[in-house]
Structure 1
Amino acid sequence: MNYQQPPHLQAVILDWAGTVVDFGSLAPTQIFVEAFAEFGVKVSIDEARGPMGMGKWDHIRTLCNVPAIAERYREKFGRKPTDDDVTTIYERFMPLQIEKIGLHSALIPGALDAIATLRDRGLKIGTCSGYPAQVMAKVVDIARDNGYVPDHVVATDEVPNGRPHPAQSLANVIALSINDVAACVKVDDTWPGILEGRSAGMWAVALTCSGNALGLTYEEYKALPPEKLAKERQRIEQMFEGSRPHYMINTIAELPAVIDEINARLARGEMPQGC
């Protein structure tokens, strides 16, 4: 039997915060700042945003590896943070995250319409997140109340390795009965999420304005002067270059047009691994 490449897409695998909900990816970022602050260690919003997209324990470990943050920790405790210290911070992070997740869980404008369009075109909707299952359960409940119910959800602690490893995307492939990873598109607002999709052999679409990289509310985004927005978009596109997304768009509202283009490329024989 000969290999036959997929003639069209079968599924879209969407991130959550910054992609479908929480326009500026504000919920996780602020909680990192607060969790470290409870131990007397200052972490700025910009520092907290750096590893966004990773699982939350890995995110905290990465922050603790930042020389400036590690030095602040040493000044407070007389030593650099160990994995046990990371776990202690993580255990404080979790209840804070669960308590406050509802403050930043509104659907991103245009998300429901875009997802409905994808479903009309026969695509399944898989999802994954850097949130652990305990937090995801609350996010999913709030999203359901707001009209968003994906076909599958994979939390970061439900697989052996979180982003940038491909495990979460591949878990969606299995659960959704997709027969070829090249028939999938991974959509994310962070570089670990784009690397996840790339490593899984999928098409990858990066969001430049709705998520972590811009870090603004929807209202703040819409109020940006055109020249400022253009400058910020250029910065964000440069940030994404190393993760090699196939497309970069402002928000999920623009995704249906990209899906049409990818379907056309598949019909011409193009594959995500070759470009």
Structure 2
Amino acid sequence: MAGTAIKNDKVVPELLLKAFLQHGFDKLIKEAIHEKMGYAIPEAIKQILASHTTYQPDFSELIVGKIYATFKAEIKKYCRLNPEISPEEDALEVFETLQQMGIKIGLNTNLDRETTNLLLKQIGWKDHPLIDITVCGDEVCKGRPHPDMILQMMAALGIGSPSEIIKIGGTLADILEGQQSGCLMSVGITNPNFSHSELLTAQPTHILGSLSEIIPLVENELTKTPE
């Protein structure tokens, strides 16, 4: 969602780094956080901590919880103080075109539901008719790159097979999520956090430069698939 359909730039990694710094992890490098972008945030924190020189396994769950709580507080504050947060220019146009083709639109995110609702409300997407479902990282047992969020969408929308789904996202974890779910396509989209060459390392089915480029892919697929 954020970084693909909503302009995000580097807000999430910057605020996650800030949360680590507030808890004394002052030698953490930005690259460690960059590698885990798109993953379920508690799991990302755990993996980042495991690579830190001062990591103590006995206190891992406690530390993870504290850093995650700080991150959630920071991102909520950011959303409230930055009214300029906005959708990608072509997002709603793409959603409308896809819906006219009979495609359902689902947004998933590694953010928690409270933060997600705040973000959606701020940009005017809360309960938007062009969005069929949203699923958040704290609503499933395992977030990205595990398939749980996609499976929850399938169950809610009555979709019988992941081969009916195209997953698109701007991180390596997004691409892996689509692959582990068995989606028809697992598509990467370039953004300020991940370049074409970085996304390519996850072996996506396609890499796009903008959200609107998904339209011809869907059109091509619909011409091959009987209704």
Question: TM class, shorter-chain normalised?
Answer: 0.7 to 0.9
Question: Partner of 1:200 in structure 2?
Answer: 181
CA distance in 2, matches of 1:120, 1:195: 28
Greater relative contact order structure (CA < 8 Å, 6+ sep): 1
TM-align CA RMSD = 2.2
Q: Which runs of 5+ in 1 are unaligned?
A: 1-15, 215-232, 268-275
Correspondence 1:250 to 2:202: no
Query: Corresponding residue for 2:148?
Result: 167
Shift of 1:172: 0.6
Q: Are 2:8 and 1:28 equivalent residues in the alignment?
A: no
* Aligned equivalents of 2:154, 2:108: Cα separation in 1: 11
User: 1-side partners of 2:62 and 2:8: how far apart?
Assistant: 33
Residue 212 of structure 1 aligns with which residue?
193
Equivalent-residue separation in structure 2 for 1:159 and 1:113 (angstroms): 29
Q: Structure 1 residues 169, 254: CA separation in 2 closer, same or farther (over 3 Å shift)?
A: same
Partner of 2:157: 176
Once the two structures are superposed, what CA deviation does each residue of 1:32-54 show, in whole Å capped at 9, x if it has no partner? Answer: 11111112323343332210111
Q: C-alpha displacement at 1:187, in angstroms?
A: 0.8
Contact 1:111 1:252 in 2 (8 A): yes
Matches within 5 A, 1:1-275: 16-24=1-9, 26-42=10-26, 43-66=28-51, 70-71=52-53, 73=54, 79=56, 82-101=60-79, 103=82, 105-144=85-124, 149-202=130-183, 203-208=185-190, 210=191, 212-214=193-195, 233=196, 235-241=197-203, 245-266=204-225
Tell me how far apart the structure 1 counterparts of residues 115 and 127 of structure 2 sit (CA, whole Å). 19
Higher-Rg structure is 1
What percentage of aligned pairs have identical amino acids? Answer: 21
In the alignment, is the contact (CA less than 8 A) between 2:95 and 2:131 conserved in 1? no
Return structure 1 stretches of 4+ with deviation > 4 angstroms. 145-149
Q: Is the 8 A contact 1:127 1:172 kept in 2?
A: no
Q: Runs of 5+ in structure 2 lacking a partner?
A: none
Quick one: distance in 2 between partners of 1:82 and 1:108?
37
Residue 98 of structure 1: CA displacement? 1.0
